[in-house]
C-alpha cells in the first residue's frame, strides 16, 4: 500500500462535505429561531402518536445516512412532540422556558466540546467561578462560600447532604463508611419537601427511615413545634439529629418555611441547615418579594436551579456551601493521573481549585456559559423584574379564580404557584377530583394550555407553576375561560 492510499483509509467524524454541512447548520439555526419566534401560534403540547413511538424501534444503523435526512427525521418525529415548556402557556409542574442566548451558548459550548471539571488554566473555570460568585451576591450568601454548578437541584441536594453528613457524623464517614456509625443519624424536613431529598438520604446511606417528615401548618410550612418535639424525642431515643432541610418554595404550593426560625433551631440543636430553594431561591432578586426568603442566607448549604426560575436551558443547577473546607473535604480526591497544583504553568497549575473537588462528577458540560451569556445580555435587574412579574401573575390568576363562582382556590398564593379547581354545587368531592383530572387532560390534549394536577389535603387541584418569561396576563385569562368552558361541558 502506498502512502496516499493509507491516508485515505483513515476516517473521521468530520463532514465529508463541509459546504453542505455548513448550509445544514444555517438552516437548523434559522428553523430554531422561527420555532421560538412563532411559539405562541402553535399548540403547547401534542400527543406523540403510536407511529412516532414505532419510529424509534429498530437496530443501530450500520452504515451512514445523509445529514439532511437525519435532520428531516428530527423535524418530523422529534420536534413536534416536546413537553412544551418553552411555550408561553405552559405552567405544568414547575418548569423553565429557556432563552435564545442560552441556545446560542449551548451551541458554542458544543462547538469546542467544552468540558468543565478538572484543569486549572482554562477560561471555562473562571466563567463557572464567576457564575457561582454572582449567585452568592444575588442570593446574599457569604462570599467565602464555595459552590458548584450541577445538572439540577436533585444533584445539588445530594452534594449538600453529603457535605452535611460528613461534617456532622462525628466520625470519618469517608474511610469508615455508614455501617460503622456509632449512632443512627436523623434528618428533618416537612412532608411537603421534594422527593430528591429522600433520594439523597437513601443514596447517602442514612436510610429513608432516618428522614423525619414533619407535618405542615395551614400555609403548608413546616410546623416548628412539631419539629422541635421530634428532635427532642429522637435524642431521648438515642438518635443523632444532624440536619434540618428547609423549603424555599415547595413543588406543590411554593410554600416557604420560616427559614429564620429553622436557622435558630439548627443553631440551638447543632444541626446542619440545608435549604432546598430549587425554584423559590430566586425570589431573593424580586424587589417587591425578596423579604419572603429572609433567613435563606443563613443556611449551611443552599441548593437551587437556574433551569426553572432564571429560565435557562436544561440542565443547570447550583449548590453553595458556607464552609469551604467542609465542602472540599467531602469530595476532594486526587489520583495520580489527575495530579495538579504543581507550578505556575500548564493545564494542571494551581491558579484555581479544581471543580471536581467540590462534587461527585469529574467531567461535566460547560453549563456556566449559558448562564454567563444570558445574564449579561439581560442584566440582573430585568431578571428581578421578570421573576416579580411571574409572582404578580400568580396573584392575578388567583384573583380571576376567586372572582369566578365556578372555581375555587386551594389556598392563598404564597409565590408563583396557583392551585385551584372547578367546582359545582351538588357534586361530591370524589366526582370533583375526577372532573378536575379530566379538565387537566382535556386542556393538554387540546394544546391550548398545559397545567398539571396536585393532591392537597386529599383533593385534586389544577396546578399552575409560573416560571415562564413568555407568559402574559391574557394567557391567564384564557386559562380561566377554558377551565370553565371544559368544566361546564364535562359536568
Ligand X SMILES: *Cc1c(COP(=O)(O)O)cnc(C)c1O
Give residues in contact with ligand X (CB under 6 A): 94, 152-154, 194, 196, 250-251, 276, 278-279, 305, 317
Q: How far is the CB of 280 from ligand X (least distance, A)?
A: 7
Q: How far is the CB of 114 from ligand X (least distance, A)?
A: 21
CB-count burial class (<10 Å; 0-12, 13-18, 19+) for 133: middle
The cell 469529574 sits on which residue?
Answer: 362
Indicate the SS3 state at residue 162. Answer: helix
Q: How far is the CB of 277 from ligand X (least distance, A)?
A: 8
Nearest CB to ligand X, comparing residues 152 and 487: 152
Distance CA 339, CA 341 (A): 7
Distance CA 313, CA 97 (A): 7
Q: How far is the CB of 286 from ligand X (least distance, A)?
A: 17
Nearest CB to ligand X, comparing residues 93 and 422: 93
Nearest CB to ligand X, comparing residues 94 and 451: 94
Instruction: Judge contact between 161 and 204, C-beta under 8 A.
Output: yes
The cell 357534586 sits on which residue?
Answer: 427
Q: How far is the CB of 200 from ligand X (least distance, A)?
A: 10
Nearest CB to ligand X, comparing residues 278 and 397: 278
Instruction: Judge contact between 422 and 404, C-beta under 8 A.
Output: no
Nearest CB to ligand X, comparing residues 318 and 400: 318
Give helix 100-111 / helix 368-403 axis angle, nearest 10°: 150
Nearest CB to ligand X, comparing residues 332 and 455: 455
Distance CA 90, CA 111 (A): 30
Nearest CB to ligand X, comparing residues 417 and 443: 417
Indicate the SS3 state at residue 464. Answer: strand
Nearest CB to ligand X, comparing residues 94 and 149: 94
Q: How far is the CB of 83 from ligand X (least distance, A)?
A: 13
> Phi/psi at 273 (nearest 5 deg)?
-110, 105
Q: Can the peptide bond before residue 328 be classed as cis, meaning omega within 30 degrees of 0?
A: no
Distance CA 476, CA 416 (A): 13
End-to-end CA distance of the chain: 80
Closest residue to ligand X: CB criterion:
152
- 127 sits in which H/E element: helix 123-138
Q: How far is the CB of 482 from ligand X (least distance, A)?
A: 26
Between CA 470 and CA 91, with CA 151 as vertex, the angle to 5 degrees is 30
Q: How far is the CB of 152 from ligand X (least distance, A)?
A: 3
- Residues found in the chain: 491
Distance CA 25, CA 28 (A): 5
Nearest CB to ligand X, comparing residues 124 and 250: 250
Q: How far is the CB of 205 from ligand X (least distance, A)?
A: 20
Amino acid at each position: 500500500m502506498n502512502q496516499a492510499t493509507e491516508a485515505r483509509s483513515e476516517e473521521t467524524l468530520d463532514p465529508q462535505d463541509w459546504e453542505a454541512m455548513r448550509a445544514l447548520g444555517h438552516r437548523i439555526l434559522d428553523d430554531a429561531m422561527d420555532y421560538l419566534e412563532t411559539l405562541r401560534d402553535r399548540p403547547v403540547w401534542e400527543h406523540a402518536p403510536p407511529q412516532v413511538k414505532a419510529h424509534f424501534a429498530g437496530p443501530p444503523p450500520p452504515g451512514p445516512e445523509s445529514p439532511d435526512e437525519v435532520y428531516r427525521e428530527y423535524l418530523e418525529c422529534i420536534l413536534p412532540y416536546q413537553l412544551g415548556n418553552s411555550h408561553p402557556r405552559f405552567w405544568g409542574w414547575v418548569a423553565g422556558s429557556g432563552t435564545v442566548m442560552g441556545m446560542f451558548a449551548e451551541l458554542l459550548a458544543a462547538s469546542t466540546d467544552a468540558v468543565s471539571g478538572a484543569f486549572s488554566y482554562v477560561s471555562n473555570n473562571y466563567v463557572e467561578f464567576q457564575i457561582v460568585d454572582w449567585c452568592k451576591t444575588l442570593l446574599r450568601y457569604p462570599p467565602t462560600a464555595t459552590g458548584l454548578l450541577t445538572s439540577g437541584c436533585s444533584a445539588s441536594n445530594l452534594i449538600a447532604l453529603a457535605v452535611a453528613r460528613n461534617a456532622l457524623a462525628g466520625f470519618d464517614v469517608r474511610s469508615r463508611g455508614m455501617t460503622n456509625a456509632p449512632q443512627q443519624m436523623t434528618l428533618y424536613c416537612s412532608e411537603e419537601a421534594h422527593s430528591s431529598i429522600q433520594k439523597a438520604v437513601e443514596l447517602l446511606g442514612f436510610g429513608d427511615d432516618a428522614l423525619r417528615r414533619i407535618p405542615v401548618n395551614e400555609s403548608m410550612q413546616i410546623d416548628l413545634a412539631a419539629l422541635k418535639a421530634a428532635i427532642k424525642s429522637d435524642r431521648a431515643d438515642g438518635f443523632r439529629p444532624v440536619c434540618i432541610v428547609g423549603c424555599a418554595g415547595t413543588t406543590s404550593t411554593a410554600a416557604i418555611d420560616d427559614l429564620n426560625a429553622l436557622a435558630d433551631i439548627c443553631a440551638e440543636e447543632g444541626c446542619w441547615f440545608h435549604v432546598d430553594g430549587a425554584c423559590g431561591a430566586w425570589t431573593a432578586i424580586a424587589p417587591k418579594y425578596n423579604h419572603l426568603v429572609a433567613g435563606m442566607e443563613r443556611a449551611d448549604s443552599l441548593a437551587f436551579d437556574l433551569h426553572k426560575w432564571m429560565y435557562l436551558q436544561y440542565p443547570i443547577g447550583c449548590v453553595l456551601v458556607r464552609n469551604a473546607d467542609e465542602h472540599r473535604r467531602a469530595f476532594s480526591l486526587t489520583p495520580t493521573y489527575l495530579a495538579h497544583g504543581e507550578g505556575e504553568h500548564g493545564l494542571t497549575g494551581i491558579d484555581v481549585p479544581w471543580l471536581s473537588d467540590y462534587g461527585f462528577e469529574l467531567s461535566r458540560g460547560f453549563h456556566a456559559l449559558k448562564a454567563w451569556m444570558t445574564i449579561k445580555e439581560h442584566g440582573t435587574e430585568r431578571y428581578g423584574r421578570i421573576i416579580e412579574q411571574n409572582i404578580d401573575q400568580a396573584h392575578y390568576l388567583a384573583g380571576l379564580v376567586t372572582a369566578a363562582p365556578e372555581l375555587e382556590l386551594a389556598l392563598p398564593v404564597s409565590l408563583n404557584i396557583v392551585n385551584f379547581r372547578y367546582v359545582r354545587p351538588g357534586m361530591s368531592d370524589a366526582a370533583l377530583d375526577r372532573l378536575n383530572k379530566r379538565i387537566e387532560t382535556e386542556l393538554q390534549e387540546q394544546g391550548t394550555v398545559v397545567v398539571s394536577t396536585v393532591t392537597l389535603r386529599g383533593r385534586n387541584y389544577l396546578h399552575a407553576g409560573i416560571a415562564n418569561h413568555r407568559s402574559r396576563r391574557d394567557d391567564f385569562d384564557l386559562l380561566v375561560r377554558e377551565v370553565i368552558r371544559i368544566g361546564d361541558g364535562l359536568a
